[in-house]
Amino acid sequence: MGGITPPDQIETRLFINGEFVNASDGKTFELISSKDNTVLVHVQEASEEDTNRAVAAAKAAQPAWEELTVQERGAYFKKLAALIREHDREFAQLEALSMGLPVSGYFHAAAAAKIFDHYSEAGYTIQGTSSLATPGFVNLTFRQPYGVVAAIIPWNVPVLFFAKKLAPALITGNTVVLKSSEKAPLTSAKLAVLIKQAGFPPGVINVLSGHGHISGSILSYHTDVRALSFTGSTRTGRLIQEASSKSNLKAISLELGGKSPAIVFEDADLEAAVTSTAHGIQSNSGQVCMANSRIYVQDTIADRFIDLFKTKFSEIAKMGDPTSSETRHGPLVDKAQFDKVLEYIEMGKRDGNMILGPDSVSADKGYFIQPTIFTSTSEDSQIMKEEVFGPVVNINVFHSEKDVLAKANDTEYGLYASVFTKDISRAMRFAKGFQAGTVGINCSSPVTGADTPFGGYKGSGVGREGMPYHSLDFFLETKSVIIKVAG
Ligand code: NAD
């Protein structure tokens, strides 16, 4: 049951109103394997009609779902979590095939199961307030679901985002339409299979595959969708915000891109800083929103740091077939990402000094790019400002604390920032001074707190997600109820 799915049995259909269906207009799109460029499967592409049908199904299912007790809703989550755990290796395999994430160290399904387990018990934490502060009145607030909500997710960590968005949306009594990424739709379709097995009532969860245009855009403009939680690029985030303002002002949560700095001082544990930052940029071949793509190292330790980093970065990145348990460094997700990263590498060569990286690369045998390091890159170079989303890091040297904080913050992004130092006062000055939604002290991305919110300053997003209450909060309206008490 938990084995590897043969290619002809991979689920590629849409999941609408509890049924698996083909696209209404018969359209499909090719999913290309990132490891060898072959066509993996043809996936059903949700049409406008399919997207509208999914929203209508969610709307019809919502009142009964909201009427269930929180234990009844939570019971479905527990069944789903158990099924996800059972199929862990299948999720790993599907992700490796479609987007190149190595099966070694795959943890997304296990983490998703934990999220469903957590929220299965979270129903009673949804509480309003009461106040007797106004004489002659009892004032209350109710927290209520929006009704139909949508989730649009990216390809780089699909199963985790599926759970992070759906679990809080559903436990609060909303019903959901989720659109997966066209670059990694298979694990969301697999989750739909398990959702059916877990017995969720039809229409409560609908899962669509397709591109931004048509299904993503239709969801963003849909007037029956009252809240939309999005994770993806800043460019698409802007379009979704615009769609909300041009349609029904649906509530939006935007988790967007990053260009995260890591600062290493001379008093830091050098080896630990190297290990942490090398992992931060190598994990998922650098295709991580919070990856520490800019490292600033103090002049007095720069040579030692860079030497050690170069060794560590090449060692941890054992490049190869992502379905092999030996591989630590898989290919990039697709040709578009591959070409984009190569363009940035060319910019890096122009504006900095490449000390590790490819001389020439070809996509003939998969979209592999080896770990790449630039030093001494000019601060105003495009590669220092824009998100590369690949295994490419810029290491620059700094001389003064004030100067380096200004450089770290000189970006339109603000998702994650880290500082390595043993000086607690300095660490606190940076924690306060970084313009970033998450700060790591003596640790770096992808380390986050299970019980702290996640989200971006500036162009990295709007709103916060996470446990214990930020995600629940997003999926709930607040109503004030004013009761006049006769004297
Ligand atoms: P993307 O913005 O291209 O796509 C994300 C999703 O949006 C996909 O499902 C896509 O089909 C959909 N989409 C595209 N155009 C749309 C439109 N006009 N309307 C509605 N939906 C549309 O991003 P991506 O390439 O899939 O993911 C990589 C990006 O996501 C990076 O920028 C990365 O930093 C970011 N990201 C952010 C976080 C975070 O938590 N902040 C986490 C992971 C990834």
pLDDT at 219: 98
Q: What is the mean pLDDT of residues 388-411?
A: 97
pLDDT in tens, 356-375: 998 888 888 889 999 999 99
Whether pLDDT at 42 is above 50: yes
Hey, which of 48, 288, 289 would you mutate to test ligand 1's pocket, going by the most ligand atoms within 8 Å of its Cβ? 289
- Compute the distance from residue 258 Cα to the ligand 1 centre, in Å: 12
Whether pLDDT at 414 is above 90: yes
Whether pLDDT at 2 is above 70: no
pLDDT in tens, 331-344: 999 999 999 999 99
Of the listed ranges 240-249, 363-372, 397-406, the one predicted with least confidence = 363-372
Residues 111, 102: Cα–Cα separation, whole Å = 16
Cis peptide before 158 (omega within 30 of 0): no
**pLDDT-derived band at 4, boundaries 50, 70, 90:** confident
Could you tell me the fold of the domain covering 261-458? Aldehyde Dehydrogenase; Chain A, domain 2 (3.40.309)
Domain with CATH 3.40.605.10 in the chain: 7-256+461-480
Q: What is the mean pLDDT of residues 174-195?
A: 98
Whether pLDDT at 3 is above 70: no
**Which residues line the pocket of ligand 1, CB cutoff 6 A?**
152-157, 179, 181-182, 211-213, 216-217, 220, 231-233, 236, 239-240, 255-258, 289, 387, 389, 415, 456, 461
Atom number, ligand 1, closest to the C-alpha of residue 217:
19
Whether pLDDT at 1 is above 60: no
Mean pLDDT, the chain, as a whole number?
Answer: 96
**pLDDT-derived band at 315, boundaries 50, 70, 90:** confident
Residues 286, 393: Cα–Cα separation, whole Å = 9
Domain with CATH 3.40.309.10 in the chain: 261-458
- Compute the distance from residue 233 Cα to the ligand 1 centre, in Å: 4
**pLDDT-derived band at 239, boundaries 50, 70, 90:** very high
Domain 7-256+461-480 class in CATH? alpha beta
**pLDDT-derived band at 317, boundaries 50, 70, 90:** low
Q: What share of the chain in percent tops pLDDT 90?
A: 93
pLDDT at 238: 98
